[in-house]
Each structure stands twice: as structure tokens, then as C-alpha cells.
Amino acid sequence: MQGKQAAGTSSLLHRSAFDWSNVVLHLLLPLAGVLVALLIGALMLLILKADPLAAYRALIDGAVGSVSGITQSLVKATPLLLVGLGICIAFRANVINIGGEGQIILGAIAATWFPLTFNTWPGWLLIPATLTFGFLAGAVWGFVPGILKARLHVNEILSTIMMNSIAQQFMYLLIRGPLMDPAGIAAGTFLAQSARIPQQATLPRLVPQTLLHAGAILAVVLAIVVYFFLWRTTIGYRIRAVGLNPDASRYSGINVPFYQAFSMTLAGGFAGLAGAIEIMGVQHRLLDGITSGYGFTGIVAALLGGLHPLGLIPASILFGGLLVGANEMQRTVQVPSSLINALLGLIVLFVSGSAIWSRRWAARRNMGVQNEEEKS
């Protein structure tokens, strides 16, 4: 498989760090995709006999209409940004990580078990230790499909999807068994959820009376770090080289399988961190549905953000808002929020389909440059 995908993905990868003339195209095309998806959504709402205007008004209102809406949107943007960062890194090495869901779960499991076990540690030690442990757990879940792709050419899309299902079952096993809340067992409710993590392991709130937590700042800082990592370090350069042209990278002495496995491991780590932060900042305990589909929505955000760590910041805020708005829409106009999932699928189709125009545009521009060089 490796190398065979290069032709298709390279169009998405052929982008230098800051190429402002490109930004317009790479901003307008994806946004047009979102707009068309929303228009199709309006059509579907009409068929479902709901008022599209009222529905979309509820959506916007829910996302940005109040302090709680805005902070909620940022809370949901945080895991999207983290998962998306991992997907960016993997994608740059031409490895497609669909395993965000499973990696989030592993990170969440780790970030539940660790503070429950070391509950006497002080917060200044427990918080960084738990975050690291969550990152590592996700990294392991990313390493497996990474090494399988690098060594045995196992299609990483399929293996990561399988790893998602395995992680899901593993979590059920834990919250119905060893990690089940002792309080629930004592009360006889047997709720499938873990105990609450100790107070000193929870992330501090940024705005009082809201859910916005310090994880959001960490995510933005990490986005900047990943940007420097990919474009200003040797390892980052090699990751991108492997993605752009695996054959040329091999001839120039880059260990291609290593960087494929490594980028997937990092991707898993970032998703694991997202899971840990979701536990420590929002849920404070492990329960079913902990991923909220962030593993998949993160892919959409990464694509829309042009697979660029900095482009991801606005993209994940946009999708965080969409998710929050969808809940409001479900409440006020009784349209199931799964509508948004269908629209996310359409956005992915449009964005991946519209890459042809940016590719042609880039080719035309390259030709123009060549012509000018010939003239001079």
C-alpha cells in the first residue's frame, strides 16, 4: 500500500508553511464545501418537515449565542484540535489515521486509572503525570497499526478501524468490571461508569461557572509546537519527505518504515491526550460515549484546516461550534443531531473531491513559474 497512495495525497501535502497566495484557494474551497453541505442539510430538513431557517438559527444560537454556548464550543474544539494535530502529523507522512476513536478511549482509560490509583499525589505532580500517561496509552494504540503498516504493509485505515472497535469493547469490559464505580456497586445501581477521579487531578476552569478548562490552552500551545516540529526540525522534515515521496526519501537514506510508524505513534499520542483531557477537564469519570465521535470529527477538522496545525485551530473551533449547535437544534426543533454527522460526511466528500481544483491550480501556477524562468 505504501507509496501507492502518494499520487492522491500529495495534492493535500504539497503546501509550504506560509504561502499566502494559496491561502485564499485553500480557505475558499473548503468553506464552499461546508456551505454546500449546509444547503443540502437545509433540503433534508425540508424533507423532514422541519423549518431549515429555524433549525440553523437554533444551531448558530446554540454555538455562539451565549457565554455558555461559546465556552461549550471551545470545550468541544479542544479534543478536535488535539486529535486533528495527530491526524495532520500522520497525514504528512502519508499515513491515514482513522483510529482517533480508539486512541481517545485508551487515553481516557489511562487518565481514569492513573489518578484513581495514585490518588494521594498532589495536583502539581498528578496532572502532568496523568496527561503523560494518557498520551502514552494513545501512542501505544497508534503504534500497533503504525508498525503493522511499516513492517507488514497492513492497510492502516482498516487496522485502525478495527482497533477502534477493540478499544470500545475493552472500555466496556473495564467499566462493567474492574473500573466500575464502587459507589454504584454499593448502591446496587451497577452503572457502567468508573468512579470520579480525585479533585486534584481535574483541570482548572478558565471561566467560572462554565466547562472551559485549561486543556484548551494546552491544545493551542501544542498546535504551535506541532507547527514548529513539522517545519523547523529535522524529524519533522523527514516525516514530510516520507509523505511527499517515499521512494526519494528511501534513496536519500531516510528510514521510511520508521517514520511511518513514528508518525502514527505520535498521532495516537495526541488522540490519547485528547481522551485524557476529556476525562480530566469535562467528564471527570470514564463512561460510555466518552469519545463523542471526536475521532471522526477530528478527521473532518484536519481536512478542512488544510492538514496544517495552525489551520486546524479555526477549523476545530468551527466544528466544535457545529457540534454544540447541533445539540441545541435537537432540543428546540427536534431534529436529531445525527444530521450533523451526515453533513460531516458530505463535507469530507466535497473537500476530498475539490482537491482536484487546487491541484490543477498549483500545476498551472508551476507552469507559469517555469515559463517566466525560461523567458529570463
Partner 1 sequence: MKEIIGILKTMIPLAAPFLYAAIGETFAQTSGVVNLGVEGIMLLSAYGAFYVALNTGNLWLALLTAVLIGLLMGLLMSFISVTLKAEQGISGIGLYLFGYGMSSLLFETTIGTVKTINGFRPASIPLLGDLPVVGPLLFQNSIPVYGAFLLVPVAWWVLNRTTLGLKIKSVGQNPAAADSLGINVDGIRYFSVCLGAALAGLAGATLSTAVVNLFQDNLTAGQGFIAVALVYFGGWSPIGVLGGALLFSFVNSLQLWMQVLGVKISSDVAVMLPYLMTIAALMFSVNRARQPAALNKPFERGES
Residues that bind partner 1 (CB under 8 A): 1, 4-5, 7-9, 11-12, 44, 48, 96, 98, 148, 152-155, 157-159, 161-163, 165-166, 169-170, 172-173, 176-177, 296, 299-300, 303, 336, 338-349, 351-356
Q: How far is the CB of 98 from partner 1 (least distance, A)?
A: 6
Q: How far is the CB of 171 from partner 1 (least distance, A)?
A: 9
Instruction: Pick between residue 45 and residue 218 the one whose CB is nearest to partner 1.
Output: 45
Q: How far is the CB of 77 from partner 1 (least distance, A)?
A: 19
Distances (CA, A) of 35 to 39, 80, 106, 221, 347: 6, 20, 35, 30, 9
Cell of 28: 475558499
Q: How far is the CB of 243 from partner 1 (least distance, A)?
A: 12
Closest residue by Cα to residue 330 from 49, 43, 59: 59
Instruction: Pick between residue 5 and residue 132 the one whose CB is nearest to partner 1.
Output: 5
Q: How far is the CB of 367 from partner 1 (least distance, A)?
A: 14
Q: How far is the CB of 1 from partner 1 (least distance, A)?
A: 7
The helix/strand/coil state of 289 is coil
Cell of 271: 488522540
Instruction: Pick between residue 40 and residue 64 the one whose CB is nearest to partner 1.
Output: 40
Q: How far is the CB of 246 from partner 1 (least distance, A)?
A: 14
CB 91 within 8 A of CB 307: yes
Burial 253-272 (b: 16+ CB within 10 A, else e): ebebbebbbbbbbbbbbbbb
CA 350 – CA 311 distance, rounded (Å): 18
Q: How many residues does the chain have?
A: 376
Distances (CA, A) of 367 to 149, 240, 364, 371, 374: 36, 24, 5, 6, 10
Q: How far is the CB of 58 from partner 1 (least distance, A)?
A: 16
Instruction: Pick between residue 8 and residue 128 the one whose CB is nearest to partner 1.
Output: 8
The helix/strand/coil state of 87 is helix
The helix/strand/coil state of 193 is strand
Instruction: Pick between residue 98 and residue 218 the one whose CB is nearest to partner 1.
Output: 98
Q: How far is the CB of 91 from partner 1 (least distance, A)?
A: 9
Instruction: Pick between residue 10 and residue 68 the one whose CB is nearest to partner 1.
Output: 10
Instruction: Pick between residue 101 and residue 278 the one whose CB is nearest to partner 1.
Output: 101
Instruction: Pick between residue 45 and residue 216 the one whose CB is nearest to partner 1.
Output: 45
Q: Any idea which residue has 444551531 for its cell?
A: 59
Dihedral of CA atoms 50, 56, 62, 64 in degrees, nearest 10, equals -170
Q: What are phi and psi of 3, to 5 degrees?
A: 90, -35
Closest residue by Cα to residue 145 from 127, 136, 158, 130: 158
Q: What are phi and psi of 297, to 5 degrees?
A: -60, -30
Q: 22: Cβ–Cβ under 8 A, 6 or more apart, which residues?
A: 15, 358, 362
Instruction: Pick between residue 165 and residue 189 the one whose CB is nearest to partner 1.
Output: 165
